[in-house]
């Protein structure tokens, strides 16, 4: 395309350009703020870090300090030896700056003793320092039993694990399904057409995957079956585009909390309704980000804290719209940034946070 541009006039190149290349630059001039640091110290409850090179953790802490991130919850703790190592690497040098969540051991999950074994492993992991359990998205979608059958999100063989979480007082952060549009036909009406075009493997066609509504129903049945277990429904439970429905779920199930990672552009496209919703559900939502790219936190802060209008978010392929600031009240921000997480996650150091 670039080579051709020398030979044919720009106007003609523009005529053949695909939508993937279209990046209109806004001519709108309105007040714009730069928010590089959160207004209050905050807890990121949805992050993934692998224990790597020496000095890595000190570097991460430096970047956290610049953002005003006081605690990072690393959801990729694993189990057994890996969990122990992750706790040691992250909490060894900075005991109050990290929390590590364990993951479930799925080995040999058809064996009759599996439920008891998985629960016992989790209990050991909590003794070794895990402060919660993270369930990854393969649970319900790609995880299969020995006969190759999909394991539903509410499969009873995991009941013992969830009951153990209730008994030990640790939360379960669970990611189920994907945005609904990735399950829908990739046609000209699909809101995530660009994402499906750029990342075809993200599609969830009916030949291979259960339907979105089926996964939601399984997940909500799981929540209802373990009323003493605290669940943190990741990514606004994929109802960021239907906050009313998410509110109904929270109303019905007091053991369910949620978090905003990877769906900030859903909030930014409905600033007035989202603001009302945050005020109503201020005790139920926590801050999370997911992908560790420190500069992208600035967009989160700007959407949550400012009243800026019509600006870009960081994931054009999640949605080709612009976003707006929610201008959340300070008390709502405090709950979102740290108060709710301090209540839900055991063992965090409260002393670094204002009242």
Give the residues lining the site for Zn ion (CB under 5 A).
290
Please check whether residue 229 is in contact with residue 165, taking contact to mean a CB–CB distance below 8 angstroms.
yes
Q: How far is the CB of 238 from Zn ion (least distance, A)?
A: 13
Q: How far is the CB of 204 from Zn ion (least distance, A)?
A: 17
Whose Cβ is closer to Zn ion: residue 64's or residue 73's? 73
Whose Cβ is closer to Zn ion: residue 126's or residue 173's? 173
| Rounded Cα gap, residues 1 and 226, in angstroms | 57
Q: How far is the CB of 258 from Zn ion (least distance, A)?
A: 14
Whose Cβ is closer to Zn ion: residue 195's or residue 290's? 290
Residues across the chain: 355
Q: How far is the CB of 261 from Zn ion (least distance, A)?
A: 7
String of DSSP letters for 218-281: HHHHHHHH-TTS-EEEGGGGG-TT-HHHHHHHHHH-TTEEEE-TT-HHHHHT-HHHHHHHHHHT
In the complex, which residue's CB is closest to Zn ion? 290
Whose Cβ is closer to Zn ion: residue 178's or residue 305's? 178
Instruction: Give the sign of the dihedral formed by CA 345, CA 141, CA 315, CA 62.
Output: positive
Instruction: Give the sign of the dihedral formed by CA 284, CA 282, CA 241, CA 34.
Output: negative
129 SS3 class: coil
Whose Cβ is closer to Zn ion: residue 107's or residue 138's? 138
Q: How far is the CB of 61 from Zn ion (least distance, A)?
A: 20
Q: How far is the CB of 83 from Zn ion (least distance, A)?
A: 17
- Measured between its terminal Cα atoms, the distance across the chain in Å is 57
Whose Cβ is closer to Zn ion: residue 45's or residue 243's? 45
Token output for 235? 């990514």
Please check whether residue 101 is in contact with residue 122, taking contact to mean a CB–CB distance below 8 angstroms.
no
Q: How far is the CB of 78 from Zn ion (least distance, A)?
A: 14
Whose Cβ is closer to Zn ion: residue 97's or residue 175's? 175
Whose Cβ is closer to Zn ion: residue 276's or residue 291's? 291
Task: Give the burial class of 239: count Cβ atoms within 10 A of its Cβ; 0-12 exposed, 13-18 middle, 19 or more buried.
Answer: buried
353 SS3 class: coil
Q: How far is the CB of 46 from Zn ion (least distance, A)?
A: 6
Please check whether residue 125 is in contact with residue 83, taking contact to mean a CB–CB distance below 8 angstroms.
yes
């Amino acid at each position: 395309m670039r080579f051709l541009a020398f030979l044919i006039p720009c106007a003609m190149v523009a005529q053949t350009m695909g939508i993937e290349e279209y990046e209109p630059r806004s001519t709108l001039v309105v007040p714009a703020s730069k928010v590089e640091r959160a207004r209050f110290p905050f807890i990121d409850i949805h992050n993934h870090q692998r224990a790597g090179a020496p000095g890595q953790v000190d570097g991460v802490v430096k970047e956290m300090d610049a953002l005003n991130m006081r605690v990072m919850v690393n959801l990729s703790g694993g189990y057994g030896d890996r969990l122990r190592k992750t706790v040691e690497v992250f909490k060894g040098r900075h005991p109050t700056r990290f929390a590590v969540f364990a993951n479930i051991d799925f080995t040999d999950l058809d064996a009759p003793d599996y439920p008891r074994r998985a629960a016992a492993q989790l209990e050991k992991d909590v003794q070794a320092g895990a402060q919660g359990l993270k369930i990854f998205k393969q649970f319900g979608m790609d995880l299969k039993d020995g006969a190759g059958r999909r394991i539903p999100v509410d499969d009873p063989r995991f009941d013992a694990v969830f009951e153990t979480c209730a008994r030990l007082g640790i939360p379960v952060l669970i990611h189920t399904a994907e945005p609904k549009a990735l399950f829908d036909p990739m046609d000209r009406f699909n809101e995530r057409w660009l994402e499906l075009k750029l990342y075809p493997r993200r599609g969830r066609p009916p030949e291979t995957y259960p339907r979105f509504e089926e996964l939601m129903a399984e997940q909500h049945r799981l929540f209802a079956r373990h009323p003493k277990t605290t669940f943190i429904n990741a990514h606004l439970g994929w109802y960021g585009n239907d906050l009313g429905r998410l509110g109904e779920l929270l109303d019905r199930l007091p053991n369910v909390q949620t978090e905003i990672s990877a769906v900030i552009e859903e909030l930014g496209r409905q600033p007035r309704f989202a603001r009302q919703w945050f005020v109503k559900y201020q005790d139920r939502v926590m801050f999370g980000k997911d992908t560790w790219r420190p500069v992208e936190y600035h967009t989160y802060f700007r959407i949550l804290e400012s009243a800026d209008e019509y600006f870009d978010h960081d994931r054009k392929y999640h949605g080709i719209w612009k976003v707006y600031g929610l201008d959340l009240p300070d008390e709502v921000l405090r709950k979102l940034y740290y108060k709710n997480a301090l209540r839900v996650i055991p063992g965090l150091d409260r002393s670094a946070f204002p009242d």
